Amino acid sequence: MLKKNLALAITVLLPSIFQPSFGEELDLGDIKLETSVYKKTGARDAMNRIYIEKVTVKPSRYLNTRSANKINAQLKQLSASFYAKSRQCNTPPKNIPWGYEFELSEATNSDDILTFVFDATSACSGRHSFKKVKRNFSVQTGALIPED
């Protein structure tokens, strides 16, 4: 019985501890970026799970390394903050679906501005939220451009 429970625990816990980071490369002309899994629990389209993407821009002749690093730090912080919110949900009451998803829905580059739009969907204790989260960055400096 102990071996069976241990095998079940390993089967369930190992995928959440060692989360593979399968990336998808995207091409915005002069700028290349990659999406990967920041945090994930459960099957892709299941309820009661967390799925948070991370976006990484790659330096190029158009986007210098310093600017790329500044943008990447902001994007990583954005994914981390959404993950922190998901952790505040704790364990919802039984039979109430919960979930947190944060995925890149659009990326554009025009006039020295790199724009990312994320779909942020959450459900916790019966409350649902469907948001678009937008971040604009200067390609020249890597600085976050505040929205008006």
List the chain domain ranges: 2-145
Under the banding of pLDDT at 50, 70 and 90, the label for residue 44 is low
| Structure confidence at residue 91 (pLDDT) | 65
pLDDT in tens, 15-28: 333 343 456 777 77
pLDDT in tens, 109-118: 988 999 999 9
Q: Which residues contact 13 (CB under 8 A, 6 or more apart)?
A: none
CATH number (3.50.50.60, 3.40.1210.10, 3.30.565.40, 3.30.230.70) of 2-145 reads 3.30.565.40
Query: Which stretch, 48-52, 56-60, 124-128, has highest mean pLDDT?
Result: 56-60
pTM recorded for the entire structure = 0.76
pLDDT above 70: residue 107: yes
| pLDDT average, residue stretch 11-17 | 37
**Angle, alpha carbons 92-131-113 (nearest 5°):** 140
Q: Band of the pLDDT at 92, cuts 50, 70, 90?
A: low
SS3 content of the chain, % helix, strand, coil (to 5): 25, 40, 30
Q: Write out the E strands in the chain.
A: 24-27, 32-41, 49-58, 99-110, 113-124, 127-138, 144-145
User: Based on C-alpha coordinates, what's the Rg of the chain?
Assistant: 18
Length of the chain: 148
